[in-house]
Amino acid sequence: MEQKEIRFPLFIDLNGRKAVVVGGGAIACRRAGVLRTFGAQVTLIAPEWKEHIEGVSWLQRPYQSGDLDGAVLAVAATDDRAVNRQVGEDACALGIPVSVADRREECTFLFPAVCLGEELVAGVVSANNDHKAVARAAAAIRETLKEGKG
């Protein structure tokens, strides 16, 4: 029986710290918004972006070497495999945790479905990349937190 990969949940302080999101589509924007919620100074790098997010800095251009300098966290979420791979490689070379949206095996951390409640935070990921199971679990947790059960 093959063992599923399971990762340790790690909660870090992002308040006032630089996080870089590369990509301007729905996934990149969603992740930039989540990081901003946790106080990160988010820089989004993309020629275009789907949704302008308050408090997120936008570099309107393609990703370049050096864009991750000073970052504590990186997200690669473009529709270009080569760019995502480069962001992942650059982040790893700099020792920066990176989530690569299209290649789980290139991630050093998995970006969770985030569930917030009064003074509670939960993150949900799947050991086997089952997005529907994550969505169901996150919805149940959010409902529990909303009802004040958490």
Domain CATH number, residue 25: 3.40.50.720
- In this prediction, the residues of the chain whose per-residue pLDDT falls under 50 are none
Q: Do residues 39 and 16 lie in contact, with contact meaning Cβ atoms separated by under 8 Å?
A: yes
pLDDT of residue 4: 64
Beta bridge partners of 76: 22, 100
Measured over the CA atoms of residue 120, residue 95, residue 60 and residue 16, the dihedral's sign is positive
Total number of domains constituting the chain: 2
pTM value is: 0.88
Taking the C-alpha atoms of 141, 30, 5 and 88 in order, what is their torsion angle to the nearest 10 degrees? -160
- List, in sequence order, every beta strand (DSSP E) within 67-112: 73-76, 98-100
For residue 94, being part of any structural domain is answered with yes
User: Are 140 and 69 part of one and the same domain?
Assistant: no
Task: Indicate if 101 and 123 belong to the same structural domain.
Answer: no
Cβ neighbours of residue 139 closer than 8 Å, sequence gap 6 or more:
none
Confidence at residue 134, expressed as pLDDT on a 0 to 100 scale: 85
Residue 84 placed within a domain: yes
Whether residue 13 lies inside any domain: the answer is no
- Domain ranges, residue 128: 113-147
* β-bridge partners, 114: 123
Same domain, 22 and 57: yes
The confidence score (pLDDT) of residue 22 equals 98
The strand pairing partners of 103, in sequence order, are none
pLDDT score, position 98:
98
Residue 10 lies in a domain: no
What local confidence, expressed as pLDDT, does residue 118 receive?
Answer: 83
Q: What backbone phi and psi angles, to 5 degrees, belong to 147? A: -80, -5
What is the sign of the dihedral through the CA atoms of 75, 81, 83 and 89? positive
